[in-house]
Structure 1
Amino acid sequence: MTQDRGLTHVDETGAARMVDVSAKDTSTRRAVASGKVLVSAEVVEALRGDGVPKGDALAVARIAGIMGAKRTPDLVPLCHPIAITGAKVDLEVADDAVLITAAVKTTDRTGVEMEALTAVAVAGLAVIDMVKALDPAAVLSDVRVERKEGGKTGLWERS
């Protein structure tokens, strides 16, 4: 029954498994994910001004996000280790949040959606760690895939 719904990470008995991608062709694949960290006005003011007490929160979060993308198979049990050929994490301070976008690229046999999502999540966690002294109520929210390209399914975009 689970196979009929297209769940590829479970076998016919329902047991978890790592998908065999050896028969797939390598192709250029790219995924973009986004999310945000909801923060107080005090944090927004600090990020737009002299910064937060721990240092350059956005630079730390950017590097953390890139590192997160690279470590995805260590964090998500059934993810394949793939060769990431590029990872970019952008952070923008909005009026009530830090907006995060991550784009990850590979030329491999499987996509990079999980790497892009992990980059956003880890960057968001780093923002929270950097601002928690000013805003212990900061919230990581709305982490989601926005776009994926390449492979057999081609282009998919969130509407």
Structure 2
Amino acid sequence: MVTLPTLIPLSEAARKYGLDEDYLRQMVEKGKIRAAMVAGEMVVSEDEVRGEAIEVKALRKEDLPEYQMYSHLKGNSIWISEASRQYRVPHQTLVRWVKAGYIKQLGMEGNKVLIDEADIAYCSEIYRKRGRQGRILFNEDGTPYKPKTRSIAY
């Protein structure tokens, strides 16, 4: 007999696997997770949601070894100008990274923007390894960008 997929309500899948319901809906729309409507409620394939949850959790920047090297700095605040000098990254690059969300802004001190030192240390590590003008360094979630073909990107 054919093995049928186990379907569970979208809200239960989100709660069970620690994912956002909107994110799961996006995955359904993209065709990455199969779904159906049962009694007016969206149900999703539990196996596919579980696989997506494993993939998402494996890709968090906080779990990467480059970030773990600087995890002891988490929560330490440093202003952008000081970080630029200390980590030798152009000021405008840091401003762009903060706006993009790669570096967490912790607050303001007068006119100074305070950022998380662990984030800047991690980003500067990736910048030193791969950075050249005009290169994409990060995915939207802050993980290092991996080009499809190395010869074109580097």
Pairwise TM-score range, normalised by the shorter structure: under 0.3
The structure in which a higher percent of residues are strand is 1
> What TM-score, normalized by structure 2, do the two folds share?
0.24
Q: Name whichever structure is richer in helix by fraction.
A: 2
**For the pair shown, which has the larger CA radius of gyration, 1 or 2?**
2
- Higher-RCO chain (CA-CA 8 Å, sequence separation at least 6): 1
